[in-house]
Structure 1
Amino acid sequence: MTRPPVGGGEMPGRIADVRWHAMSGFALVGVIAVIAGGLVAAATGPTGFTHGSWVAAYLVLVAGVSQVGLGVGQALLAAVPPSGRRRAWQLVVYNAANTAVLLGTLISSVAVVVAGGALLLLALALFLAAVRHPRTHSWHLAIYRLLLAILGVSVPVGIVLSALRQS
């Protein structure tokens, strides 16, 4: 038995495969970040790692959960899932930003935190642009945009807090 075509002659399974492929890299890296955050949290107390709780929270919330939300959100919400090239840029920029913020915090360099923040804003702009033409205007889209807004507002707040901590 064959499935009926859906818009443009594509089979429903093919559409699901394309959307899954569009989110899988973000889901994988995000889950790894959540696990790493859990490991950092577990090691913080016994080792006396002073930035441990902040690093764990950042890994779980920003590098992990938010990355999964952004990757899955754009894959499901965009009328056409982002191209492989766009997704590669998003993955590289978003994770380079997170690495810079984490590194800058650990070495007490506000300049590195600022560079990471700037990269994070660039990554958020790439995610926002990817869903410029959504398939739906449901509450899912509102949540996706709210996640982008929360992250966008948290960048300057985090930079200011980093600068205050160093002064």
Structure 2
Amino acid sequence: MTATGICSVVLGGLVAAVTEPLGLAHGSWLAAYLVLVGGVAQAAMGQARFRRSEAMPRRGWAQFGCWNLGNLLVIVATLAGAPLVVDLGSALLVIALVIAWRAARPGVGSAARPATGWGSPLVDHAYRTLLLVLAVSIPVGMALSQLRHS
């Protein structure tokens, strides 16, 4: 997830670079989405999984698949003006967040973790806060999509 997130950040930067020259109508939205949701958020989830490698390992692939397919559906549907498909992609993002939240619970995969640095409770709290912010932003994005295309 970390590597895919980094690639998404780079792709978002490239989209930002060509938005004005190519006159992309949704270019700034797409660049921001790729960087923040597809990139930064996914890289954070990847690092959290890496730090807690024993926490729900099989569900890591489900989280990865739901997050990336959900992002792809949201992007394509937004560009195509298909708000119901945005909702479907958003549902996959919620599933990925639920998997991430369950893996990030205190005590899950935390045996022998250091109290400072990347294994600290403060970092865990910040990560769970990021997951909550993402969870709140999903229905906001769905509502905006519906309003924009109705």
* TM-score interval (norm. to shorter): 0.7 to 0.9
TM-score by length of 2: 0.88
User: How large is the Cα RMSD of the aligned pairs?
Assistant: 1.5
Aligned residues: 140
Does residue 70 of the first structure (1) align with residue 32 of the second (2)? Answer: no
Provide Cα deviations, 1:31-67, integer angstroms capped at 9, x if missing partner: 1101110111011000100000000000000000000
Output the CA distance in 2 between the equivalents of 1:51 and 1:119.
22
Alignment of 1:27-106 (within 5 A): 27-76=2-51, 78=52, 80-83=54-57, 85-106=58-79
Which of these residues, 128, 137, 142, is aligned with residue 154 of structure 1?
137
User: 1:90–1:123: 8 Å Cα contact kept in structure 2?
Assistant: yes
Deviation of the 1:90 alpha carbon: 1.2
Deviation of the 1:134 alpha carbon: 5.1
Output the CA distance in 2 between the equivalents of 1:74 and 1:144.
11
Which of these residues, 85, 97, 104, is aligned with residue 131 of structure 1?
104
User: 1:27–1:68: 8 Å Cα contact kept in structure 2?
Assistant: yes
Extract unaligned runs of 5+ from structure 2. Answer: 114-119
Output the CA distance in 2 between the equivalents of 1:46 and 1:131.
42
Output the CA distance in 2 between the equivalents of 1:154 and 1:61.
12
User: 2:8–2:35: 8 Å Cα contact kept in structure 1?
Assistant: yes
Q: Which has the larger radius of gyration?
A: 1
Extract unaligned runs of 5+ from structure 1. Answer: 1-25
Output the CA distance in 2 between the equivalents of 1:148 and 1:96.
18
Provide Cα deviations, 1:48-87, integer angstroms capped at 9, x if missing partner: 00000000000000000000011102322x383442x322
Does residue 145 of the first structure (1) align with residue 120 of the second (2)? Answer: no
Deviation of the 1:158 alpha carbon: 0.2
Counterpart in 1 of 2:116?
none
Identity of aligned residues (%): 42
